[in-house]
Structure 1
Amino acid sequence: MAESSEDTGLAQFGYKQELKRTLGIFHTFAAGISYISILTGTFQLFYLGMGQGGPAYWWSWPMVFVGQLMVALCFAELAGRYPVAGSIYNWAKRLSNPHVAWLAGWMMLTASVVSIAAVALAYQQTLPQISSVFQLVGTGSNATDSATNAVVLGALLILFTTVVNAFGVKLMARINSAGVFIELIAAVLLIIVLAANITRGPEVVTETHGTGAGNSLGYLGAFLTASLASAYVMYGFDTAASLGEESLNPRRNAPKAILRALVASFFLGGLILLFALMAVKDINAEELTTIGLQYVILDVLGPTVGKIFLWTVIIAITVCVLAVQTACIRMAFAMARDNNLPASRTLARVSPRFGTPVAPAVISGALAVGILAVNIGQPQIFAVITSIAIIMIYVAYLLVTVPMLIARLRGRWTAPETGFTLGRWGVPVNVLAVLWGLGMTVNLMWPRQEIYNPTEPYHWYLRWGAFLFVGGVALVGFAYYWLVLRHKTGVRAENACEPTEGS
């Protein structure tokens, strides 16, 4: 009876049930939290926050959490009402029109492919710290060697996640859930051991290390730049909803999974950052702004225990890439069954053997490796690729929260009869979600040299890379949609639900 009810939910969009419902509440929670991946994000970007804002950058963590919580609350309400694959795309379609929905899906799909590459680069910041054996290219003594080695390690990781995703949702869910369980245990243990080794008080988070000097906005300008280290982490919680067609009782479980993933990430990540700042032996060590948390772990815990924790970071990075690619595959499948992508017939086909869309898995993996390949030898690869991916995700989120707010203000939004609802708090929460999204998008795109072109050679197109790339993706993509795809859009017959008697 429950399965029939969820199938009826899909019928609202005109789709038949093709993906297998096998995922429980922990699986959906694990998908959301592995996409956020506190160990991946904090270990990959701590150096950026410290270098740009000093220890006081820690305050950007609760700031970003509050802003993203407003977005997550809106998404939780949508997840309870529309538990469907390609959540961002299908939500925008319900809230607005096919053009806005396509643009939201296109931005999210492109961002997901770029994110696969961006997250895979995190291997480079941890594996060589464990052993020099993982420095496959050169010695790692210069930025070019490190960037090229990052591409090699990242490509190997993407190959693994592509194979796992192609072989079915059950295998993906088992690996992802096991990885998340290890990551959560490791995060709690890391908090405990760092707390046991503190050398200074929490007032450390008031120190700026003079990072505001020379900035036209003083420390505010430095803090806004440093806040990107937190903004780059707390997103992707909507993945729990994108698995709605493969989840058991998604109307009830998806909203909980979204909110629990974000809240758990905030508390665990915030405590790791705080105790790391309190425990590191030398708060002025240059390695804090170059190596990051990896240096803190080895400095505080020693090489043996420290490397054990770094291996758990590698596990977290692995399941993070797995979750990002899983979300990417569901978005491609969702858009293709509406005939809204090239080669839609192939992309919308669910393998009868594996029960998953195999073509999107292979294509997304190949594209992500291609993005890495064209950046071989580019020291700027880390910040530029990461920034561009996150900007497009924030834009895609706005293409949901803005139409949702318009629907509320025009009286066209009706809360779900059962499940999660914001009730009378809907409008103020939605307003805050939109304002937050707009503000952070501007902050992310601002052409800062220290983000987009921090090392020589200095190129104007790198500094303006966010505007050029994001704008180009939006304009070229939408032009293709307007001239070609919009004339074909509509649920493909192979994916359409059968009409009920009397309809």
Structure 2
Amino acid sequence: MTVTTDPTPPAPPPPGDGDALAPFGYPQELRRRMGRYASFAAGFSFISVLTTVFQFFALGYSFGGPLFFWTWPAVLVGQLLVAACFAELASRLPIAGAIYQWASRLGTPAFGWYAGWIMVTGRIVVVAAAALALQVVLPAVWPGFQIVGGDPSPTTPSGAANAALLGLVLLALTTLLNVLDNRALSAVNTIGVTAEIGGVVLIVALLATHAEQDPGITLHTGGQGGLITALLVGSFTAAYVLIGFESASEMSEETVNPRRTAPRTTLTALTTSGVCGGLLLLGGLLSAPSLTDGRLATEGLGYVLTSTLGDGLGRILLADVTVAICAATLAIQTSATRMLFSMARDGVLPRSAALARVPRRTGMPGTAAVVVGVGAALLLLLNLASPQAFLAIGTTCIAMVYLAYAMVTGPMLVRRLRGEWPPPADGERDELGRPLFSLGRWGLPVNALALAYGLFMTVNLAWPRAEVYDPEGGHWYFQWFTVLILAATVATGAAYRWYRRRRETPEHGSAAHPEPATVRV
């Protein structure tokens, strides 16, 4: 297939035309059934404030104390800048594998390949991290879920081992759903999101009636280290929670009216999650029985619920959190599967034909789903080796996602400075005949700030702080885990591309695999 950098995008199909992929040279293989709420659910389930706030509240509090609350709105604003750029792209390039496709068309096919490779690897790590979150809530719901025995805290050897076992069971179920039909997948996501939103509203309302502290406590540090360290490490909680909003765009090939729906559900999912998560953090801080007994820094919000609301009601709410964790793991695996499918469809991965296969019976890229599930399961085994793997896995996946985001906003900014983005809007309309989503005159400052924020957070997350990643000492590889995994991901990708180019040289007699289909923006 021909690769071109023509800045003029293919004209969108006329309103009502269901063949939205024809201008990009792809056939419609995935089944286009998702409505607006299901599209919103894809993004909201990936973010899953109940899953991630419960999972990382203790980390943020242990370093930042109550002051870490203010890192939440700061990260939310930064991510909204990124999401606004992505919404503009989603309206013009409604294709599965969004990050890979966008980076390829804004930059070069090689640059886009690395963005997709980093994102796929990061997403697989995110799947593993989400599955590990079951350990934070299930043993608190019922002690019988602590199969291994011993201390259920994820930071202990027994808790870490049990987390891996629970995670493996969950991955088996989510992989099965990703192999079946997208109606079942969409239904589970929708149910999960509805339960999660209801749970957030109920938890926030109940915590508000049991407030023990004054809002002024959010101006106190009380964590480890100085103020700057408290804020930088405290921001990990918000950074981990507020990712994955672009999943609505990842599902564009399965969404009805994607040019209109995906941009709006991308922004709506992030905004809704930002408000819900901020209220959860504030409610947990204000209603905590004690801010100084050390339990907030080790047990997080689970401790607040069971201590404040009583074991009975607290366990019911934690069961709702369990539903959210399952839906989140499913949504993240689905998003990773679409990215892998999109790259394989262009023939740029090993075993591309198998990974890109979509059986007519299911309309789902089942082989890609299995690869993602197996990859995440292998990562879970690290938790058996050491409880410190939990934090290393979590922060690594966030850093990789942030870097992949910057690999989209970066070339997008270059295009803007050249006057090549956004492309001419003459006659461009969405499926309902309305103008495409656009940042207008705010595009340049929003894009520049989004890139700067993304690069800053990538460095912040990957910085090898011994007090964060190796507090007990003796595990240098966990201290450098994020840097090592990023380097290994890039090196592995470079080695594969070198091997592929070598096989494609005339003396080896192999036909070249195509780069992404007609790369145009």
TM-score category, normalised to shorter length: over 0.9
Aligned residue number for residue 313 of structure 2: 305
> What is the rounded CA distance, in whole Å, between the counterparts of 2:438 and 2:467 in structure 1?
42
| Aligned mates of 1:17, 1:330 — CA distance in 2 | 14
2:31 maps to which of 17, 20, 32: 20
Q: Residue 12 of structure 1: SS of its match in structure 2?
A: helix
Written as runs of structure 1 = structure 2, the 5 A alignment for 1:15-414 is: 15-140=26-151, 143-209=156-222, 211-212=224-225, 218-414=226-422
Contact 1:137–1:149 (8 Å) recurs in 2: yes
Distance 1:434 1:21 in 2: 32
In structure 2, what is the Cα distance between the partners aligned to 1:329 and 1:151? 21
1:279 Cα deviation after fit: 0.9
Residue aligning to 2:444: 427
* 1:206 Cα deviation from its structure 2 partner: 0.7
Provide the C-alpha distance between the structure 1 equivalents of 2:470 and 2:440, rounded to a whole number of angstroms: 45
Amino acid at match of 2:24: F
User: Which residue identity does 2:449 align to in structure 1?
Assistant: L
Q: Report the AA paired with residue 467 of structure 1.
A: V
Q: C-alpha displacement at 1:337, in angstroms?
A: 0.7
How far apart are 1:403 and its partner, in Å? 0.4
Query: Structure 1 residues 13-22 or 174-183, which shifts more?
Result: 13-22
Opposite residue 253 of structure 1, the aligned amino acid is: T
Deviation (angstroms), 1:481: 1.8
Percent of matched pairs sharing the same residue? 45
CA-atom RMSD, angstroms? 1.7
Distance 1:3 1:19 in 2: 20
Task: Tell me whether 139-148 or 377-386 shows the greater mean CA deviation.
Answer: 139-148
Instruction: State the AA in 2 paired with 1:370.
Output: L
In structure 2, give the amino acid aligned to 1:361.
Answer: A
Report deviation, 1:371: 1.3
Larger deviation, residues 203-212 vs 462-471: 203-212
Contact 1:380-1:455 within 8 A present in 2 as well? no
Give the superposition deviation at 1:140.
2.1
Do the aligned partners of residues 141 and 120 (structure 1) sit closer, same or farther apart at CA in structure 2, a change above 3 Å counting? closer
**Alignment check: 8 A CA contact 1:123 1:317 kept:** yes
Q: Which moved more, 1:21-30 or 1:463-472?
A: 463-472
Matched to 2:318, the amino acid is: L
Contact 2:61–2:223 (8 Å) recurs in 1? no
Matched position secondary structure for 1:311: helix
- How far apart are the structure 2 equivalents of 1:341 and 1:455? 40
Structure 2 Cα separation of the partners of residues 412 and 192 of structure 1: 48
1:340·1:485 contact (CA, 8 Å) conserved in 2? no
The AA in structure 1 aligned to 2:214 is G
Between the aligned partners of 2:47 and 2:515, the Cα distance in structure 1 is 31
CA–CA distance in structure 2, aligned partners of residues 362 and 279 of structure 1:
42
Structure 2 distance, partners of 1:210, 1:52, is 4
Aligned equivalent of 1:480, options 489, 492, 496:
496
Contact 1:58 1:205 in 2 (8 A): yes
1:132-176 Cα shifts (integer Å, max 9, x gaps): 100111222671111111100000000000001100211100000
Tell me how many residue pairs correspond in the alignment.
Answer: 487
User: Conserved in 1, the CA contact under 8 Å of 2:122 and 2:398?
Assistant: yes
5+ residue gaps, structure 2:
1-12, 429-434, 505-511
Deviation at 1:268, TM superposition (A): 0.7
Query: Retained in 2: the 8 A contact 1:279–1:300?
Result: yes
Bigger shift: residues 469-478 or 29-38: 469-478
Could you say if the C-alpha distance between residues 210 and 466 of structure 1 is closer, same or farther in structure 2, counting changes exceeding 3 Å?
closer
State how far apart, in whole Å, the 1-side matches of 2:152 and 2:106 are.
51
Name the amino acid aligned to 2:17. S
Matched, 1:5 2:29: no
Amino acid at match of 1:138: G
Q: TM-score, normalised by structure 2?
A: 0.91
SS in 1 for 2:398: helix
| Conserved? CA contact 1:337–1:345, under 8 Å | yes
Structure 1 residues 220 and 12: alpha-carbon distance in aligned structure 2, compared to 1, 3 A threshold = same
Q: Which amino acid aligns with 1:242?
A: E
**Does structure 2 retain, via aligned residues, the 8 Å contact 1:14–1:491?**
no
